[in-house]
Amino acid sequence: MPEKISAKDRILDAANRLFYGEGIRAVSVDAIAEKAGITKRTLYYHFKSKDDLIEAYLVSRDQPNLALYRKWFEETEGELPDKVEAIFAELARSARHPKWKGCGFLRTAAELANMPGHPAMKVGAAHKKKFEAWLGEEFKDLEVQSPEDLARHIVLLMDGAFSTVLVHRDPDYLTSAGQGARLMVENAMKRA
C-alpha cells in the first residue's frame, strides 16, 4: 500500500520543482500551494514565510547534490584526473535534459544578491564550501603542493560552467570545463 505523503513533504516537493524550474521570485506562494494540492493557509502552517520555504528548498538539495558528486567521483575507474573529469562529464549529461536550469544554489544566490544576509544565501555558501572542502580532501593524499588551491580552481571551473551553459544553452562548456579541470590536476601532479 502506498504510504501517504505528508502535506509538508508535498509542499517542499512542489517548491523544489517550481523554484528550480521557474526561479524564486517568479514563483508565487499561491502557485506552490496549488501544485502541492493544499491551501495557502496550510502552507503557512508548515512554513512561516516564503523566505523560510526558500531556505528549506536549498537545505533539501544540499546532501543529495553532494552525494551525487561523490558517487560520480568514486564510481569512476582510473587516476585522479579521470575521476575529476568524470564529474563534469556527468554534469554535461544532466545539462542535456530539457528541464535542466543550471545550479539551483548559484541561481538563488544571483536572485538574492540584494539580500546578502538571507538565510538561503548562508545555506548556499555552506553547500559550496562543503564541496570545495571535500575536493581538497581528495587531493590531500597526492603529492600536490597545494590541494586547497587546486580544489578552488576546479570549483571555479565548475561554477563557471554552470553559469556559461545556462547563458549559451550549450552543454559543451561543461565538457570543456572538464577538460580544463583535467589539465589543472595533471599539471599540479607533474609539478610535485
- Residues at the interface with a copy of itself (CB under 8 A): 21-23, 25-26, 101-102, 105-107, 109-114, 116, 121, 124-125, 128-129, 149, 152-153, 155-164, 166-169, 173, 176-177, 179-180, 183-184, 187
CA gap 149, 142 in Å, rounded? 14
Which range touches DNA (CB under 7 A), out of 23-31, 82-90, 119-127, 183-191?
A: 23-31
Q: What is the CA radius of gyration of the chain?
A: 19
Q: Which is nearer to a copy of itself, 47 or 131 (CB)?
A: 131
46 lines the binding site for DNA (CB under 7 A):
yes
Rounded-to-5 percentages of helix, strand, coil across the chain:
75, 0, 25
- Helices 80-95 + 172-191 axis angle, to 10: 170
17 lines the binding site for DNA (CB under 7 A):
no
Other beta carbons within 10 Å of 44: 15
CA gap 133, 155 in Å, rounded? 10
Q: Which of 35, 40, 130, 152 binds DNA (CB under 7 A)?
A: 40
CA gap 81, 85 in Å, rounded? 6
45 lines the binding site for DNA (CB under 7 A):
yes
41 lines the binding site for DNA (CB under 7 A):
yes
Given DNA, a copy of itself, none, residue 168, with its beta carbon under 5 to 8 Å by kind, binds: a copy of itself
120 lines the binding site for DNA (CB under 7 A):
no
CA gap 106, 161 in Å, rounded? 11
Cell numbers representing residue 44 in the block: 503557512
Q: Which is nearer to a copy of itself, 38 or 180 (CB)?
A: 180
Binding site for DNA (CB under 7 A): 6-8, 27-31, 38-42, 44-46, 49-51
